Chains A and B, each alone.
Chain A
């Protein structure tokens, strides 16, 4: 069976147009399902399915030795690779599905990806069932240990901290009180429903109902992420719902264990309830503490990794995973531990690690979380078809209705209270989105799966699955048109301006100063002190003192240079391309300095900064909420840099017409060679013709600055060390019209739109 699979892909890879692809995929599905039937049945552990059917082909090697057979040229041994083979197969299938959806453009714009994946899962489950084999189910161990952590780590590592901490109170109230309310309301009302005669639900007791309520009440981060990333709502709403989904894990864990214990015992005393409350604090704070410890360890470790850059990403991943597992050992909240670890570790690690490591971390996290999410949804679909169901109309319908009702009531009630303490109030629209965005997902399913087997479990599972389907399909798909309809504020393109940044810093210092004069230590004061002391321990050497403003400026310049290259329009680029040039704002009384050289000087300065920029510190402000398409981050995108260099060459050409400065500048940039070697950090190019003698050598030598401004390369200050570090990692690129093949090579690694026309910028330069 299995060997058929090997042959099929080769024939199928010829063309990948839509219908043929789907056809091919269907066939692949059937065959693989057939094969994995063999595989699955032979492997109880991973997939959690009982019983086994016949094994695959027997080993040829073990045939009898009574007669001497010819040496086997080709033999078949499937068992040897069975487990990794089937795992890889499933993952491959999942990803091919994902690929398929995006090839068919119309579908993906209407239907959510997660919905499609669940449907695919249903189909696969249906097929497997039709073949009358047992399908793999979403085993809880698999889910909690392998599938969930990457998603949470990805979310936690890239969590936008400022809005999160600013809204922490609100988020906590929603997470804790809201979830408790949901659990109590649903559990209680369901018990009431179960008392109704004629529903055949009399055997469900209060504790079981409460347990059910606890499982179903928690908003699920996976589902929220999957849906919200496609609708781009504003930051506040996103962080409220998503933060809630993360922090309610502690509540869910406690409630679940509490009620599960008690449903065996049968009765609850006041002492138990009190212990439950204590347990909640232990679980949540303990989880956070564990995470923070691992985070600090990770940050500290990263301080010493400057000589072994290649393994830096692994430290991040492993420390985080260990944090999760350690928390799980003690039944603390693993999710909160993971979030705490990522949040703690991130600023220090990013200051210490190389740019490539940062890119690696980012890509790997997004990759793993993408795979995990895909697998989760597919398995959800498969388990739906496969799992034993006990459908009870009353129970299920009431569950769905009660979930909605309790969510709406909870959000409205809590918002009313919260708004008394907030400066920026939550409007009705916000409340609606928060309530509507409370999706349930795979965590609820897995928790339900963990229940001990009794007659209620199947009924619960059915209800849980129905709720999940309802929220993901109905709510998930309608939320996008609703957002449009209600004209909810979308996430605006953050065009961070240098002025805003300057004043953010200025305000921070001002407020700290005023607090100091007032004499009481507000949170600005503590933040300041914390920054001063802790950073010294956790960040390598000089970098701890580099101000955020400079890194921001460098980064912003780079970003604007990218925009300059890509957009080609003068209007939105204030610094490099505006009609108001520096000469307009030079001082009166120094008219001689208003000559063009001052323009080129500032431009050159900017360009020089870009070239010398230490890209590591500049990531702080680029938050990307799109999890699976990495926003084209100018610092990661070599292609943009190449284009920028090309653009700069054009600019140089033009500027040189005006220049009277006696720098030895050339009219045209010379041809330079760029070697892009992803493994090494060596980027070299011929610098003999370079007007500025710029060179990025493999050894940590400083690049020569532009001689125009007579910047000496020997910088005695802290920036020198930065540059040294930066230059070994920086790609030193050069504009070159003949770099197409390099560009092609690069664009294999980074998906990226083609270069834009640059000709129309000519006129607006140096106006």
Chain B
């Protein structure tokens, strides 16, 4: 542990500026990362999927996938990783920070866009920049997958109605031969213009060192 202290201290600084987390938060996240990855340097999909509490989550696969999605790393790459390191882990987590009171309007807007991009990427699985009907149907199906035997058509109906809604609010005068390819990011943003995304989509990150008051959430 001692040897990596200085190394991690330097890395932490870098991460702090990149993601906006505080030092304590990054330390806690690192601890968690090591826990999940069983003390390896990198995290694989299996590590995340083995988390017990995630088992009941209907969109578990998308969440796990989001961690390995290169688009969420803000480096203009596409595709996905096989395994991720700690920086990628923290980068993904940084999408869930709440807005600080000191943020300016532009920063808040940027954060909002950031979060919406994250959501968008979760739906747009083939990286083509729009959410097609099939993808949206898949989203709804996954969402309903844990709730008993839902017929396929119910999910499809819901997804269809949702697409129609987006299409008609954004492109109100489509003729019968026009073709609505899919929800682009602008249309996606439009869906959320009433919602205060920057405050809704956040998770409280621990500020204090909880190693001494650890709550015993193990992955095994």
Contacts and interface: CB of A to CB of B under 8 A. Distances in A.
Interface of A: 423-424, 497-500, 502-503, 505-507, 509-522, 524-525, 528, 532, 542, 545-547, 549-550, 553, 557, 571, 574-575, 578-588, 602, 605-606, 609, 709, 711, 715-719, 767
A520 B206 contact: yes
A513 B60 contact: yes
Interface in B108-154: 119, 122, 132-134, 139-140, 143-144, 147-151, 153-154
Interface in B168-220: 168-169, 171-176, 178-182, 191-192, 194-196, 199-206, 210, 215, 217
B59 A506 contact: yes
Given A509-B59, A546-B147, A587-B134, A580 B174 contact: yes
B85 interface: no
A584 B149 contact: no
A513 B63 contact: yes
B161 A505 contact: no
Given A511-B201, A549-B143, A717-B148, A517 B191 contact: no
Contacts of B157: 553, 602, 605-606, 609
Given A507-B200, A584-B180, 14 more contacts: A497-B162, A502-B158, A513-B54, A516-B51, A517-B32, A520-B210, A522-B203, A522-B204, A542-B148, A547-B143, A575-B164, A606-B157, A718-B149, A719-B151
Contact of B149 (A524, A578, A717): A717
Interface of B: 29, 32, 35-36, 48, 51, 53-54, 56-60, 63, 93, 96, 98-99, 119, 122, 132-134, 139-140, 143-144, 147-151, 153-154, 157-158, 160-169, 171-176, 178-182, 191-192, 194-196, 199-206, 210, 215, 217
Contact of A511 (B134, B168, B203): B203
Contacts of A532: 56
Contacts of B119: 503, 506-507, 510
Contacts of A516: 51, 53-54, 57
Contacts of A497: 162, 165, 191
A509 B59 CA distance: 7
Nearest to B55: A516
A582 B139 contact: no
A549 B144 contact: yes
Given A511-B201, A545-B148, A584-B179, A519 B166 contact: no
B176 A581 contact: yes
Contact of B162 (A502, A519, A718): A502
B176 to A, nearest CB: 7
A520 B195 CA distance: 26
Closest 3 A/B residue pairs (Cβ): A717-B149, A578-B168, A580-B167
A575 B165 contact: yes
B95 to A, nearest CB: 9
Given A585-B133, A605-B157, A550 B150 contact: yes
Contacts of A517: 32, 36, 48, 51, 54, 63
A528 B164 CA distance: 31
Contact of B158 (A506, A515, A549, A588): A549
Contacts, number: 195
B157 to A, nearest CB: 5
Residue from B51, B132, B148 having most chain A Cβ neighbours under 10 A: B148
Contact of B203 (A514, A549, A767): A514
Contacts of A581: 164, 176
B194 to A, nearest CB: 8
A732 to B, nearest CB: 21
Given A514-B93, A517-B63, A503 B168 contact: no
Contacts of B140: 502, 549
A586 B133 contact: yes
A525 B93 CA distance: 17
Contacts of A719: 148-151
Given A500-B191, A550-B144, A578 B164 contact: yes
A514 B144 contact: no
B162 to A, nearest CB: 5
A585 B167 contact: yes
A186 B3 CA distance: 65
Given A499-B191, A516-B54, A574-B164, A546 B139 contact: no
B122 to A, nearest CB: 8
A602 B132 CA distance: 17
Contacts of B96: 511, 514
Contacts of B148: 542, 545-546, 717-719
Contacts of B181: 588
Nearest to B201: A507
Given A513-B57, A520-B206, A585 B201 contact: no
Nearest to B53: A516
A518 B203 contact: yes
B53 to A, nearest CB: 4
A602 B161 CA distance: 8
A677 B36 CA distance: 62
A505 B143 contact: yes
26 contacts: A498-B158, A500-B192, A500-B195, A502-B139, A503-B119, A503-B195, A505-B143, A506-B139, A509-B58, A510-B122, A513-B57, A519-B217, A521-B215, A549-B144, A550-B150, A574-B164, A574-B167, A578-B164, A579-B168, A580-B164, A580-B180, A588-B179, A711-B153, A718-B148, A719-B150, A719-B151
A587 B122 CA distance: 20
Contacts of A578: 164-165, 167-168, 172
Given A502-B140, A502-B158, A587-B134, A423 B199 contact: yes
A718 B154 CA distance: 13
Given A500-B195, A575-B165, A580-B164, A520 B158 contact: no
Contacts of B133: 585-587
Contacts of B160: 582, 585, 602, 605
B64 to A, nearest CB: 8
Nearest to B62: A510
A712 to B, nearest CB: 11
Contacts of A553: 157-158, 161
Contact of B57 (A509, A546, A715): A509
B132 A587 contact: yes
Contacts of B36: 517, 519
Given A503-B119, A505-B143, A423 B98 contact: yes
Given A557-B161, A605-B153, A584 B63 contact: no
Contacts of A606: 157, 161
A575 B57 CA distance: 29
Contact of A580 (B93, B147, B168, B195): B168
A585 B164 contact: yes
